[in-house]
């Protein structure tokens, strides 16, 4: 959630409504002028929802298409920002994870599964939200496809799909570029966005694009760290190359990398203040700094392995698309891609200035994918599309919690949970579109997928220094058999407290 988007006073809310209405009215007037100039013709927005270029008015499904110009004008940087303008799209920010849902359909919080709402960038599948931390910059358009998209998109996209198309180099254009610089004073956020098209020859062109965002202040002051939290740094870079040796062949090579880093206590923010960031009145946790509008929380003691709260994500992706028009009616497309990220998240669970509990969530992910498809126009009524898809992915994650409970007479220890998962899938798909009449079209699609997941998962209790606790376990039949003495003693203390209550 971008905290600066919440008006804090009635006057600010009224200004937002008035300015927003004025902005949309101006856009409507400009669109009306365009329609009048074109002889009352509807504006044509081209989409690739069915993996071919079509007018959005002719696609027989529910689509919200947002152009790159509107994305920039509305200040949309993330999927969460986009959800404010697309009905049914949500991306709530959780303490450790980020879940995407469309029309209420999502995959939940089980990290073994990919998103039920698939995200695709230039046709490359991104099944995990940390692959999308780079957000939106230098985009041509974003298409939100509602409803199951299983035939052509696959990857269990039963809730829908987000298809994002970046700006590509243009060999027929001149040297040109666009740069935007912004600065916001309340949270001291600076932004630099831009893209540059470089035609090298009549057949070859480059495009370089990037963004940098830096927010130095957050919504609440943390007395523990002496800073306003949350604040972040966000940067991304993309370079693309297009080579068109002749009219029937085009190659597009794209490389993108990004870094997103957030500093501060995300969980405590939502427990210390109301959703509009006003103080919580009469909070019973006020002595701990909760409900006062200010924070006093953090784990930065040397006994902890996790360090101060925050998260960092580094991602990269490389793709090669080859489009070959073997005839006027038949096109073959190949998309090869490698994508991955490294992610680390730390969190102060107890939300107090005491070093009691701290957690970390490390993740790393690598994915290779290959899609080969053909698109054939049989006649004026029938279109055929089919192809093959292969994907191989390695996912490793964990959830570690440090317990510092010496004040309770319990030795310090760490609870370490880990998951190592490998996914391999292959698929074959085909779709037939039949235009029966000017007002009636029929679509028949089929996709066969073979998905195999192999995983190793475990839970280990460690000493606070990371070594395995090798003390004798309890005998069989004991209520705490199989647990280390430290963890069993902790459970016993909780049970005693519960009985006493």
One CATH from 2.40.170.20, 3.40.710.10, 3.20.20.70, 1.10.8.290 for 44-463: 2.40.170.20
pLDDT value at residue 176:
93
- Tokens describing residue 82: 């986009």
Contact 394, 422 (CB under 8 A): yes
Distance CA 358, CA 399 (A): 11
**Which ranges in 163-289 belong to alpha helices (H)?**
266-272
Exposure on the CB side of residue 467, measured as CA atoms within 13 A? 4
- Tokens describing residue 75: 């200040």
Distance CA 395, CA 305 (A): 23
Contact 227, 219 (CB under 8 A): no
pLDDT value at residue 5:
42
Instruction: Give every CB contact of residue 411 below 8 A, 6+ residues apart in sequence.
Output: 405, 463, 464, 486
DSSP label of 105: B
What pLDDT band is residue 301 in, cutting at 50, 70 and 90?
low
Exposure on the CB side of residue 113, measured as CA atoms within 13 A? 14
- Tokens describing residue 211: 């963004």
DSSP label of 472: P
Q: Using alpha carbons only, give the angle 346, 350, 355 rounded to the nearest 5 degrees.
A: 80
Distance CA 6, CA 199 (A): 42
Q: How far is CA 121 from the centre of its chain?
A: 12
Three-class SS state of 494: helix
Distance CA 111, CA 131 (A): 14
What pLDDT band is residue 249 in, cutting at 50, 70 and 90?
very high
What pLDDT band is residue 486 in, cutting at 50, 70 and 90?
low
What pLDDT band is residue 100 in, cutting at 50, 70 and 90?
confident
pLDDT in tens, 439-466: 888 999 999 999 999 999 887 777 655 5
pLDDT value at residue 148:
85
Q: Where are the domains of the chain?
A: 1-43, 44-463
User: Is 17 exposed, middle or buried (CB count within 10 Å of its CB: 0-12, 13-18, 19+)?
Assistant: exposed
- Tokens describing residue 134: 């780079």
Distance CA 228, CA 295 (A): 9
Contact 164, 119 (CB under 8 A): yes
Instruction: Give every CB contact of residue 246 below 8 A, 6+ residues apart in sequence.
Output: none
Please determine, for residue 409, whether its predicted confidence score (pLDDT) is greater than 80.
no
Q: What is the mean pLDDT of residues 189-193?
A: 94
* Strand order through the sheet with 294-295: 227-229, 220-222, 294-295
Distance CA 217, CA 196 (A): 31
The most confident of the ranges 104-113, 154-163, 461-470 is: 154-163
DSSP label of 179: E
Residue carrying structure tokens 């698109």: 375
Share of the chain above pLDDT 90, in %: 37
Pair type for strands 330-348 and 231-246:
unpaired
Three-class SS state of 489: helix
Higher per-residue pLDDT: 303 or 122: 122
What pLDDT band is residue 277 in, cutting at 50, 70 and 90?
low
DSSP label of 59: -
Higher per-residue pLDDT: 214 or 50: 214
Kindly list the distances between the CA atom of residue 365 and the CA atoms of 78, 131, 340, 416, in Å, as whole numbers in the listed order: 21, 9, 5, 19
- Tokens describing residue 481: 């058999």
Contact 229, 311 (CB under 8 A): no
Pair type for strands 294-295 and 220-222:
parallel
């Amino acid at each position: 959630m971008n905290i600066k988007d919440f008006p804090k006073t009635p006057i600010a809310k009224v200004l937002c409504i008035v300015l927003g209405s004025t902005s949309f009215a101006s856009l409507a007037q400009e669109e009306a002028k365009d329609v009048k100039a074109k002889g009352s013709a509807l504006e044509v927005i081209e989409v690739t929802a069915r993996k071919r270029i079509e007018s959005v008015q002719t696609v027989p499904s529910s689509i919200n298409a947002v152009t790159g110009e509107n994305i920039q004008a509305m200040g949309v940087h993330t999927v969460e920002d986009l959800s404010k303008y697309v009905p049914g799209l949500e991306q709530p920010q959780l303490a450790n994870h980020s879940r995407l849902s469309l029309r209420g359909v999502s995959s939940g919080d089980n990290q073994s599964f990919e998103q039920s709402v698939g995200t695709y960038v230039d046709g490359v599948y991104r099944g995990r939200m940390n692959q999308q931390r780079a957000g939106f910059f230098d985009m041509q358009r974003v298409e939100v496809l509602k409803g199951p998209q299983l035939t052509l998109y696959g990857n269990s996209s039963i809730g829908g799909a987000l298809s994002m198309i970046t700006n590509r180099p243009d060999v027929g254009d001149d040297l040109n570029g666009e740069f935007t610089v912004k600065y916001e004073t309340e949270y001291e956020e600076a932004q630099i966005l831009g893209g540059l098209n470089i035609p090298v020859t009549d057949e070859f062109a480059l495009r370089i694009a990037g963004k940098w965002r830096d927010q130095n202040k957050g919504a609440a002051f943390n007395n523990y760290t002496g800073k306003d939290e949350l604040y972040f740094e966000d940067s991304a870079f993309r370079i693309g190359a297009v080579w068109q040796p002749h009219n029937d062949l085009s190659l597009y090579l794209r490389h993108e990398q990004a870094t997103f880093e957030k500093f501060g206590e995300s969980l405590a923010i939502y427990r210390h203040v109301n959703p509009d960031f006003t103080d919580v009145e009469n909070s019973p946790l006020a002595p701990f700094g909760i409900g006062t509008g200010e924070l006093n929380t953090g784990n930065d003691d040397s006994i902890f392995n996790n360090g101060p709260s925050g998260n960092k994500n580094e991602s990269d992706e490389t793709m090669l698309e080859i489009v070959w028009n073997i005839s006027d009616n038949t096109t073959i497309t190949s998309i090869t891609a490698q994508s991955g990220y490294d992610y680390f998240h730390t969190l102060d669970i107890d939300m107090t200035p005491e070093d009691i509990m701290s957690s970390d969530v490390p993740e790393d992910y690598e994915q290779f994918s290959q899609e080969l498809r053909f698109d054939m126009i049989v006649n004026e009524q029938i279109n055929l599309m089919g192809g093959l898809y292969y994907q191989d992915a390695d996912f490793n994650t964990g959830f570690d919690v440090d317990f510092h409970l010496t004040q309770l007479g319990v030795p310090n220890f760490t609870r370490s949970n880990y998951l190592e998962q490998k996914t391999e899938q292959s698929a074959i798909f085909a779709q037939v579109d039949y235009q029966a009449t000017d007002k009636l079209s029929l679509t028949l699609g089929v996709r066969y997928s073979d998905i195999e997941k192999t995983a190793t998962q475990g839970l280990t209790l460690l000493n606070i220094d990371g070594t395995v606790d090798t003390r004798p376990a309890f005998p069989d039949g004991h209520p705490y058999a199989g647990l280390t003495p430290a963890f069993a003693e902790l459970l016993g203390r909780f049970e005693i407290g519960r009985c006493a209550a």
